[in-house]
């Protein structure tokens, strides 16, 4: 009896209608909220969520409780599947509807799978450089380098706050704090500074302070961590490691900010201090350490041969971004050149490489920068599901509506 | 006799309107200066090759929201103010600023801006209508305006600006556009440009020598150096403004700005000053001295240098001019209004002749609409929808086609009103969107793919069009039911069936279009769905249409519920089409207009009003037949 009731609930059209209505409200609220919260936070607040509590509406906080994207999606999926099982009948009259709904099921399952399995990485290289790894866009690792030996500890592992002892390191590592996004400031000697956050390395000259997380897709969080390293004889103090110290972004930032104030030479000198590697000596071994985006290695490498960026004559509207890349795969002996451009990604080795950002063309030439290219690297095992799902729904609806239309037209003709 | 009248009046009416349309195609005759020939000269602006005519029209639209210039706006229409075509205005701005700078071309309609800048009141003595001002009137106020502009740009974010702040920024932008045009052909400060150009050309060897000597710290001729430096400075100013590129490629070069060409001439490997530069100077001299014959001769010389190297550009320019003069969407709009009024009238006296008149007229305007749509596609080499403007044109076209199909089946004047109504409204919207500038701008790299523009964008806009058709049908149902006695049971049932069919159609296209958009995103940056506002807007349309269908299938709503839901579909679609662009976030937010927000809100409120009417109890409806609830 109870089972019948439960089944009855899950196969009912009323449930479908209610879920669709809630979905509309949720998507609307989650879209408006992006103006206040930014795309990423809104995504996790409304769509990648079971229950939504409270919403932002043009700067006002509204107390409400809504089913989140996960809940609606899952219930809709159950509703569809149960209804299909109980109402299934093979007839030409229903075949279109069946096909369309199966397509919707595939889309929902595919998106759920994407949400769990997809991974977004980036590959950032200048012309002539070769990469056999991609950088994570959201995860970071603390690395210790001794000669050629690299020990990488994912920052995720450290976040518990416990001490972590690894065999290849003669000291234990402990995470004291982690800022998902941080600001960088120079500690000018003559200024009234608060005492430095820690007394070692780069932190003596620079302040790293927590900052609010970024809101738009064009910006990126720059995390900073404070770690404590302690050997057998006790702590060797706290250190700051930061993503600001990678690439040239921190150096450029400081140069740009202080050139006006202190002159180009002085600014360059200050900025150079940011690039000095931090080291610690223990057991007669010297370790250089830093925080960097987690690297995912591939058994093949890509070399950027040429980055091209063209614009329409007399404007700054971008016309084309294009990277010429060589694939080297020692496993298969493959060695070939491919072009990656907007809307023409490279699919290789289970990953897809998309043209993402670029510093090339006239503007890069003028700034004296070696042309570089950033590829978005995505691994998504379920990438095909939307293609198939879309075709199924489209075809299903066409069949269904044609069936009705033909009936309607012939009926009117008879009149 | 009566029969003949009934039979022949629809085609005759159509022929009359067609004659009116073709009459507009005629090029106005030049009196003395061959401005209509000047209009055909190709140049590069906004990254594409356009005729002078398009640059002139688009610039005037940007400056004063019209495609012609009224040089005496303080006169009433019956005092016959002098109105000049866009190209004549542009030629004078570029080559005869002494005259052009006195024309009241800048539209300023924010009262706070007018009082802040202390602009003169309306009056013939002030040479303004209190709304349009000239360059010479604004020039002394430039410092004040600049200051306000900098203050606003640094202290406020685009989304939170007041009407006054937006108006300041807009005026500043308009002045900048005008300054660019002033410096496209010659330095705006030049007194006698042909003379000065000749002097510059003669001076180059000596000037270069003096400059080199000065650099090397040797003795040099001071007057030569100063004169040369003066020229370079003026040309540098021209170049820095980045005006349109008017000099055609000559084999070794690409399209060039006049300022760049003048700066390039003295360089060691520079291209020497060529005939194109001199011909433009001759035209400028002749225009300033009011010598039409000399102007026309120089123009002819220049045109002859364009053949054969620039024949393709010239053909393209001619084609675009023809399109500009045709103004197909304007003509279609006028005929839609006429047809719509006739069709509505036919509901009341049930005249088959009137209905047929409306249908014939809609056929004509649809043909003109289609011509314009295809002409644009060929000119651009693109699928029909490339930006917000063309989406309005296409939605109108699609809705009109659906209306014609409905009319063919039902022959009750309803499809005709849908065609005419949506056709007219969308073309009005397109007209206002065109004020933003060039409507055929180039596509950014990520959008530069005809395949996805032809599939995803066309499918989604077809989804918009059909949802609007369903909503419009529902409005007809409510208005006729509540306010008139014309909604009998058969008509009501027919309308409901039309709405249901169109909602099915809309579901199909909006679903396929939305998912194709996801697939495009997956092809471009590896993310099928990113919850971007525009994606979400499209998703809401899909969900809403699916919801209507399920409500109907489940018997939860019937005829009147369906009608009210379809009206809400109008709100959902307008939100996706315009509303999300106003959030100022996301990858798709390309078409924000200020006034549009006000109109969107008005539209939403009006639709809610119709839904409220639809919820009134049937006994209050004027139609004798009470619809089933």
Nearest C-alpha of chain B: how many angstroms from A187?
27
Residue B192 CA, distance from chain mean position:
36
Predicted confidence (pLDDT) at residue A75 exceeds the cutoff of 90: yes
Chain B touched by A57 (CB under 8 Å): no
CB atoms B445 and A320 under 8 Å: yes
Nearest Cα neighbor of B558 from B627, B462, B629, B464 is: B629
Q: How confident is the model at residue B591, as a pLDDT?
A: 39
Predicted confidence (pLDDT) at residue B225 exceeds the cutoff of 60: yes
Q: Which residue in A has a C-alpha nearest to residue B522's C-alpha?
A: A383
Mean pLDDT of all residues in A32-54: 87
Q: How confident is the model at residue B624, as a pLDDT?
A: 59
Mean pLDDT of all residues in B208-229: 91
- Interface confidence (ipTM) of the complex: 0.88
Chain B, window 21-50: residues with a beta carbon less than 8 angstroms from a chain A beta carbon: 44-48
Token couple for B588: 């798709």
CB atoms A20 and B586 under 8 Å: no
Mean pLDDT of all residues in A109-136: 91
Chain A touched by B546 (CB under 8 Å): yes
| CA Rg value for chain B | 29
Q: How confident is the model at residue A214, as a pLDDT?
A: 80
Token look-up 């099982």 returns A85
Question: Who has greater pLDDT, B490 or B510?
Answer: B510
- Residue A144 in contact with residue A172, Cβ under 8 Å? no
Give CA–CA dist B606/B574, Å, rounded.
12
Mean pLDDT of all residues in A119-135: 92
Give CA–CA dist B395/B510, Å, rounded.
13
Q: Record the pTM.
A: 0.89
Per-residue pLDDT of B85-119, as tens digits, reads 999 999 999 999 999 999 999 999 889 999 989 99
- pLDDT-based confidence at residue B595 (cuts at 50, 70, 90): low
Per-residue pLDDT of B165-197, as tens digits, reads 888 999 999 999 999 999 999 999 999 999 999
Contacts of A142 (CB under 8 A, 6+ apart): A152, A153, A155, A158, A173, A225, A227, A241, A289, A290, A291
Question: Who has greater pLDDT, B353 or A94?
Answer: B353
Q: For chain A, what percent of residues have pLDDT higher than 90?
A: 37
CB atoms A386 and B446 under 8 Å: no
CB atoms A397 and B507 under 8 Å: yes
Mean pLDDT of all residues in A300-304: 95
Give CA–CA dist B359/A317, Å, rounded.
44
Nearest-by-Cβ selection for B540 from A27, A107, A114? A27
Token couple for A102: 């199966």
Least confident stretch, A297-306, B154-163, B316-325, B454-463:
B154-163
Contacts of B80 (CB under 8 A, 6+ apart): none
DSSP class of residue A344? B
Say if residue B91 is exposed, middle or buried (CB neighbours under 10 Å; 0-12, 13-18, 19+).
buried
Q: How confident is the model at residue A190, as a pLDDT?
A: 64
Token couple for B146: 């600049």
Chain A, window 324-343: residues with a beta carbon less than 8 angstroms from a chain B beta carbon: 342-343
Q: Which of B44, B181, B531 to mutate to test the interface with A (most CBs of A within 10 A)?
A: B531
Q: How confident is the model at residue B317, as a pLDDT?
A: 92
Q: Which of A11, A28, A30, A31 to mutate to test the interface with B (most CBs of B within 10 A)?
A: A31
Nearest C-alpha of chain B: how many angstroms from A293?
20
CA atoms within 13 A on the CB side of A90: 0
Give CA–CA dist B533/A47, Å, rounded.
13
Predicted confidence (pLDDT) at residue B156 exceeds the cutoff of 90: no
Q: How confident is the model at residue A415, as a pLDDT?
A: 64
> Across chain A, what does the average pLDDT equal?
87
CB atoms A313 and B556 under 8 Å: no
Predicted confidence (pLDDT) at residue B627 exceeds the cutoff of 70: no
Predicted confidence (pLDDT) at residue B251 exceeds the cutoff of 90: no
Q: Assign B265 to helix, strand or coil.
A: coil
Give CA–CA dist B531/B517, Å, rounded.
12
Per-residue pLDDT of A312-359, as tens digits, reads 888 888 888 899 999 999 999 999 999 999 888 999 998 999 998 888
Q: How confident is the model at residue B588, as a pLDDT?
A: 44
Q: How confident is the model at residue B480, as a pLDDT?
A: 92
Q: How confident is the model at residue B421, as a pLDDT?
A: 97
How many residues are present in chain A? 415
Q: For chain A, what percent of residues have pLDDT higher than 70?
A: 97
Most confidently modeled range among B19-33, B49-63, B425-439: B49-63
Predicted confidence (pLDDT) at residue B27 exceeds the cutoff of 60: yes
Q: How confident is the model at residue B159, as a pLDDT?
A: 65
CB atoms B504 and A404 under 8 Å: yes
- pLDDT-based confidence at residue B586 (cuts at 50, 70, 90): very low
- pLDDT-based confidence at residue B267 (cuts at 50, 70, 90): very high
Nearest Cα neighbor of B511 from A142, A312, A20 is: A20
> Across chain B, what does the average pLDDT equal?
90
Predicted confidence (pLDDT) at residue B625 exceeds the cutoff of 60: no
């Amino acid at each position: 009896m109870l089972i019948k009731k439960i089944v009855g609930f899950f196969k009912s059209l009323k449930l479908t209608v209610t879920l669709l209505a809630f979905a509309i409200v949720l998507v609307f609220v989650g879209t408006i909220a992006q103006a206040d919260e930014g795309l990423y936070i809104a995504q996790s607040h409304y769509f990648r969520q079971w229950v939504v509590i409270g919403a932002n509406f043009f700067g006002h906080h509204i107390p409400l409780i809504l089913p989140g994207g996960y809940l609606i999606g899952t219930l809709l999926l159950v509703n569809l599947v149960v209804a299909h099982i109980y109402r299934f009948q093979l007839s030409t009259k229903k075949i279109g509807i069946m096909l369309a709904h199966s397509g919707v099921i595939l889309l929902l399952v595919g998106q759920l799978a994407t949400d769990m399995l997809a991974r977004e990485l980036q590959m950032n290289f200048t012309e002539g450089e070769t990469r056999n790894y991609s950088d994570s866009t959201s995860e970071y690792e603390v690395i210790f380098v001794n000669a050629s030996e690299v020990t990488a500890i994912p920052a995720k592992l450290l976040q518990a706050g416990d001490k972590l002892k690894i065999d290849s390191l003669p000291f234990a590592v402990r995470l004291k704090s982690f800022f998902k996004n941080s600001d960088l400031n120079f500690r000018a000697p003559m200024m009234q500074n608060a005492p430095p956050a820690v007394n070692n390395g780069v932190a003596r000259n620079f302040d790293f302070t927590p900052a609010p997380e970024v809101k738009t897709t064009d910006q990126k969080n720059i995390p900073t961590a404070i770690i404590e390293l302690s050997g057998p004889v006790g702590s060797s103090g706290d250190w700051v490691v930061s993503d600001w110290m990678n690439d040239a972004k921190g150096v450029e930032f400081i140069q740009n900010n202080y050139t006006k104030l202190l002159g180009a030479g002085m600014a360059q000198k200050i900025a150079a201090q940011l690039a000095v590697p931090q080291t610690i000596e223990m057991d007669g071994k010297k370790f250089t350490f830093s925080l960097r985006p987690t690297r995912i290695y591939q058994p093949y490498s890509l070399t950027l041969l040429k980055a091209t960026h063209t614009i329409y004559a007399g404007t700054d509207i971008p016309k084309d971004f294009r990277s010429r890349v060589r694939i080297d795969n020692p496993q298969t002996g493959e060695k070939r050149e491919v072009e990656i451009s907007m809307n023409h990604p490279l699919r290789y080795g289970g990953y897809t490489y998309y043209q993402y950002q670029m510093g090339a063309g006239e503007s890069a030439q003028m700034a004296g920068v070696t042309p570089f290219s950033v590829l978005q690297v995505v691994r998504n095992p379920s990438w095909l599901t939307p293609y198939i799902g879309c075709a199924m729904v489209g075809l299903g609806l066409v069949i269904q509506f044609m069936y009705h239309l033909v009936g309607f037209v012939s009926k009117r003709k008879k009149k | 006799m009566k029969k003949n009248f009934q039979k022949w009046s629809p085609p005759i009416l159509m022929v009359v309107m067609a004659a009116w349309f073709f009459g507009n195609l005629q090029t106005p005759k030049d009196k003395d200066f061959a401005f209509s020939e000047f209009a055909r000269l190709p140049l590069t602006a906004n990254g594409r090759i356009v005729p002078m005519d398009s640059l002139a029209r688009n610039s005037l639209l940007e400056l004063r929201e019209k495609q012609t210039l009224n040089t005496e706006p303080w006169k009433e229409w019956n005092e016959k103010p002098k109105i000049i075509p866009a190209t004549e205005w542009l030629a004078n701005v570029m080559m005869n600023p002494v005259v052009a700078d006195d024309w009241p071309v800048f539209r300023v309609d924010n009262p706070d801006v007018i009082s802040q800048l202390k602009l003169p009141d309306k009056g013939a003595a002030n040479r303004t209508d209190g709304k349009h001002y000239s360059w010479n009137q604004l020039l002394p106020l430039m410092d004040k305006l600049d200051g306000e502009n900098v203050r606003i740009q640094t202290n406020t974010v685009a989304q939170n600006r007041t009407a006054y702040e937006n108006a300041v920024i807009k005026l500043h932008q308009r002045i900048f556009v005008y300054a660019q045009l002033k410096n496209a052909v010659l330095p705006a400060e030049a007194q006698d440009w042909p003379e000065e150009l000749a002097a510059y050309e003669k001076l180059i060897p000596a000037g270069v020598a003096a400059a080199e000597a000065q650099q090397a710290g040797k003795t040099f001729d001071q007057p030569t150096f100063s004169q040369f430096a003066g020229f370079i400075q003026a040309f540098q100013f021209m170049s820095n403004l980045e005006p349109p590129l008017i000099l055609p490629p000559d084999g070794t070069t690409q399209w060039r700005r006049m300022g760049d060409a003048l700066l390039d001439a003295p360089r060691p490997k520079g291209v020497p000053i060529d005939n194109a530069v001199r011909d433009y100077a001759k035209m400028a001299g002749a225009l300033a001295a009011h010598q039409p014959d000399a102007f026309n001769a120089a123009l002819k010389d220049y045109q002859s240098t364009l053949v054969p190297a620039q024949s393709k550009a010239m053909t393209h320019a001619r084609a675009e001019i023809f399109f500009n003069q045709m103004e197909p969407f304007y003509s279609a709009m006028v005929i839609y209004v006429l047809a719509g009024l006739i069709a509505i009238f036919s509901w009341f006296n049930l005249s088959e002749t009137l209905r047929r008149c409306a249908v014939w007229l809609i056929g004509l305007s649809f043909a003109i609409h289609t011509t314009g749509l295809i002409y644009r596609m060929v000119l651009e080499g693109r699928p029909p929808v490339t930006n917000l403007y063309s989406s309005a044109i296409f939605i109108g076209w699609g809705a009109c086609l659906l209306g014609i199909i409905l009319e063919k089946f039902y022959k009750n004047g309803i499809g005709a009103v849908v065609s005419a109504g949506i056709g007219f409204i969308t073309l009005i919207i397109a007209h206002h969107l065109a004020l933003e500038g060039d409507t055929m701008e180039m596509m950014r790299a990520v959008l530069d793919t005809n395949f996805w523009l032809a599939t995803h964008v066309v499918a989604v806009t077809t989804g918009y069009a059909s949802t609007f058709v369903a909503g419009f049908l529902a409005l007809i149902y409510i208005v006729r039911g509540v306010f008139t006695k014309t909604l009998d049971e058969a008509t009501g049932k027919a309308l409901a069936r039309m709405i249901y069919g169109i909602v099915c159609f809309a579901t199909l296209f909006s679903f396929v279009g939305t998912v194709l958009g996801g697939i495009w995103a997956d092809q471009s940056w590896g993310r099928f769905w990113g919850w971007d506002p525009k994606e979400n807007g499209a998703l809401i349309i899909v969900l809403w249409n699916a919801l209507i269908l399920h409500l109907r299938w489940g018997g939860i709503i019937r005829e009147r519920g369906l009608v009210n839901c379809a009206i809400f579909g109008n709100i959902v679609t307008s939100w996706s089409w315009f509303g999300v662009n106003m959030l100022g976030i996301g990858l798709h937010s390309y078409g924000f207009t200020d006034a549009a927000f006000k109109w969107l809100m008005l539209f939403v409120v009006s639709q809610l009003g119709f839904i409220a009417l639809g919820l009134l109890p049937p006994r209050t409806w004027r139609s004798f037949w009470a619809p089933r609830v």
